């Protein structure tokens, strides 16, 4: 084996034109072209050899570290160099394709073999971990599936913890992720279509859907938006989410990220489309409505009564995380008459000597809380939680003792932080964290009137959004009472006959029984 070294080939075409050339019948010409395309790539390996009678010049090309060398040596090189050379009756080579077909069908014992005819395909398969075989005299080559690299094992997702239900999560390896989905959805109607996005990264992206359930128009729209992406790199599905959403300039995310295969399968069975990118453990689900952010996959693994109570608790926690600090500031600043007299006297006594108004006090504590939250995320796992807890206790106690903030404000901010952690979706948590500061400013300016105005503006903005044609507040706006039975509460499985309605869905029946209009 030899490593390609850079050569001065100024007279050749530039690389961007050279890579578009077809495979030449001359092995030496192919070798020169690839040497220029892959110059200064220290990890690319070429093994030249001769086989057959008379000796035919050939070579294999691959990147070290991306292939299984055992397969390369014993499934490619050994059959070609030994078995063909030792045959007493060599195969006929009457036509230009005889030897190539003979090697593909009779010599190589690998399950993944296919032909290619361009240098661009050669380079793409090499960088993907495959091994390419080129034979002198043939304008086609053979690519063998020899992918093998170090990968993270399937583990429990750290960001989506559940007590009941499957514990496995996606990894950064694309084929591991597709296998996790295929294990759960064994139907031939489950489709996975592959695309390549990124001029430099050439990232493999998979579009997953169930053929007889997902609306055909939705699938085509997702593929159209993906094909229209023209960017140099796709390193994570987060890149794709920003590029394909309906509305870009808004804090309200219109896609859902998840690391759980079971959650993806549940969404696919409801007519959604999933996007998976190589190198990312996060799957992207479209379309999505905001109320669905309150739904946890664990809801469908426990009894429906308990799941319904937990879901309603999440909606209450959402309102607390969004409005609690602003309500407190509005009451303290403008609406003292709404507080019982004993409580008002208690709050007034705790605020004696506080140099800041309630608004600045809340803003200071909220800002400190967000700093501690980010510090806990960025610090090493062993010390992150400890620093967050100790930092909150020390800073909060010291601030109260120093007379910078009042005790009730610390309690309000603490309740707000706890409520914000209840939400099962990280995307919804980001929306709450940003919008909370807007409500805080509105309450400081106009009290309850400011909060109501901010709520109206927020609802109007959310009602104007859509995710791939699905209204962002569906089924709340436009109101669909038939589907409300599995949003605020969890509908029991024995009464779960139809899928949620998405425009153009082909098959709405989930199980046999009396049909309902919509429902999960």
pLDDT, one tens digit per residue, over 43-84 is 899 888 887 666 788 899 999 888 888 888 888 888 887 766
Residue 356 lies in a domain: yes
| Residue 519 confidence (pLDDT) | 43
Residue 264 lies in a domain: yes
451-506: per-residue pLDDT in tens? Answer: 999 999 999 999 999 998 889 998 888 887 777 778 888 888 888 777 876 766 77
Burial class (CB in 10 A: 0-12, 13-18, 19+), 209: buried
* Strand ranges, E, within 221-349: 256-258, 273-277, 283-286
Domain boundary among 232, 255, 288: 288
Say how far apart CA 198 and CA 80 lie, in whole Å.
36
Tell me the Ramachandran region of residue 198: left when phi exceeds 0, alpha when psi lies from -120 to 50, beta otherwise.
left
Residue 349 lies in a domain: yes
| Residue 383 confidence (pLDDT) | 64
Residues 334 and 383 both lie in one domain: yes
Say how far apart CA 127 and CA 222 lie, in whole Å.
26
Residue 97 lies in a domain: yes
Residues 310 and 456 both lie in one domain: yes
Residues 334 and 436 both lie in one domain: yes
Residue ranges, the chain, pLDDT below 70: 1-15, 52-54, 83-97, 381-393, 501, 503-504, 513-520
| Residue 448 confidence (pLDDT) | 93
Quick one: angle between helices 358-378 and 426-446, nearest 10?
160
6-26: per-residue pLDDT in tens? Answer: 444 434 566 677 888 888 888
Residues 245 and 135 both lie in one domain: no
Residues 265 and 308 both lie in one domain: no
Residues 227 and 86 both lie in one domain: no
Domain boundary among 258, 288, 318: 288
Residue 217 lies in a domain: yes
Please state the domain count of the chain: 3
Show Cβ contacts of residue 44 under 8 Å, excluding neighbours closer than 6 positions.
3, 4, 38, 61, 62, 63, 64, 126
Residues 338 and 228 both lie in one domain: no
Say how far apart CA 41 and CA 30 lie, in whole Å.
17
Residues 30 and 112 both lie in one domain: yes
Residues 330 and 192 both lie in one domain: no
Residue 325 lies in a domain: yes
Say how far apart CA 318 and CA 75 lie, in whole Å.
58
Q: Give yes or no for a contact between 325 and 319, defined as CB atoms under 8 angstroms apart.
A: no
Residue 488 lies in a domain: no
| Residue 286 confidence (pLDDT) | 92
| Residue 97 confidence (pLDDT) | 52
Half-sphere exposure (Cβ direction) of 501: Cα atoms closer than 13 Å: 17
| Residue 263 confidence (pLDDT) | 92
| Residue 91 confidence (pLDDT) | 57
The whole domain housing 442 covers 300-471
- Among 173, 169, 122, smallest CA distance to 147 is for 173
The H-or-E segment that residue 111 falls in is none
Domain boundary among 268, 288, 308: 288
Residues 283 and 304 both lie in one domain: no
Cα angle, residue 56 at apex, residues 50 and 59 outer, rounded to 5°: 55
Residues 449 and 412 both lie in one domain: yes
| Residue 83 confidence (pLDDT) | 65
Half-sphere exposure (Cβ direction) of 206: Cα atoms closer than 13 Å: 22
Residues 263 and 307 both lie in one domain: no
As a dihedral over the C-alpha atoms of residue 260, residue 261, residue 265, residue 267, rounded to 10 degrees, the angle is 30
Burial class (CB in 10 A: 0-12, 13-18, 19+), 438: middle
């Amino acid at each position: 084996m030899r490593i390609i070294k850079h050569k001065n080939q100024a007279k050749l075409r530039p690389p961007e034109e050279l890579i578009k050339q077809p495979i030449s019948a001359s092995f030496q010409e192919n070798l020169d072209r690839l040497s220029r395309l892959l110059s200064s790539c220290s990890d690319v390996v070429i093994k030249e050899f001769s086989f057959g009678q008379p000796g035919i010049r050939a070579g294999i090309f691959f990147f070290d570290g991306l292939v299984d060398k055992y397969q390369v040596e014993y499934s490619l090189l050994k059959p070609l160099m030994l078995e063909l050379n030792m045959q007493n009756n060599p195969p006929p080579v009457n036509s230009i394709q005889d030897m190539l077909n003979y090697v593909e069908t009779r010599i190589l014992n690998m399950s993944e073999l296919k032909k290619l005819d361009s240098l661009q395909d050669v380079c793409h398969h090499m960088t993907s971990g495959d091994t390419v075989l080129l034979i002198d005299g043939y304008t086609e080559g053979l690519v063998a599936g020899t992918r093998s690299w170090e990968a993270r094992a399937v583990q429990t997702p750290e960001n989506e913890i559940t007590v009941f239900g499957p514990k496995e999560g996606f990894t950064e390896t694309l084929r591991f992720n597709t296998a996790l989905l295929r294990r759960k959805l064994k139907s031939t109607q489950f489709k996975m279509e592959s695309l390549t996005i990124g001029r430099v990264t050439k990232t493999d992206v998979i579009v997953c859907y169930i053929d007889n359930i997902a609306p055909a128009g939705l699938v085509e729209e997702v593929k159209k938006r993906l094909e229209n992406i023209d960017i140099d790199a796709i390193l994570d599905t987060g890149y794709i989410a920003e590029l394909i959403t309906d509305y870009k300039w808004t804090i309200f995310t219109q896609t859902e990220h998840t690391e759980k295969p079971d959650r993806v399968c549940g969404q696919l069975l409801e007519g959604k489309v999933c996007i998976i990118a190589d190198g990312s453990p996060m799957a992207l689900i479209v379309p999505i409505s905001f109320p669905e952010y309150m739904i946890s996959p664990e809801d469908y693994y426990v009894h429906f009564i308990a799941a319904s109570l937990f879901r309603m608790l999440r909606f209450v926690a959402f309102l607390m995380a969004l409005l609690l600090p602003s309500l407190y500031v509005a009451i303290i600043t403008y609406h003292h008459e709404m507080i019982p007299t004993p409580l008002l006297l208690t709050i007034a006594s705790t605020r004696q000597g506080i140099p800041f108004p309630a608004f600045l006090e809340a803003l200071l504590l909220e800002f400190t809380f967000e700093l501690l939250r980010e510090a806990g995320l960025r610090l090493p796992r062993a010390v992150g939680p400890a620093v967050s807890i100790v930092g909150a206790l020390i800073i909060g106690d010291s601030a109260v003792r120093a007379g910078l903030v009042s005790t009730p404000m610390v309690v309000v901010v603490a309740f707000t932080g706890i409520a914000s952690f209840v939400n099962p979706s990280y995307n919804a948590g980001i929306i709450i964290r940003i919008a909370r500061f807007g409500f805080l400013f509105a309450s400081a300016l106009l009290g309850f009137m400011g909060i109501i105005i901010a709520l109206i503006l927020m609802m109007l903005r959310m009602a104007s959004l859509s995710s791939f044609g699905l209204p962002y507040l569906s089924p709340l706006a436009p109101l669909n009472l038939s589907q409300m039975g599995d949003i605020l509460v969890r509908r029991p499985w024995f009464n779960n006959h139809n899928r949620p309605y998405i425009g153009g869905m082909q098959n709405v029946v989930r199980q046999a029984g009396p049909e309902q209009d919509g429902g999960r």
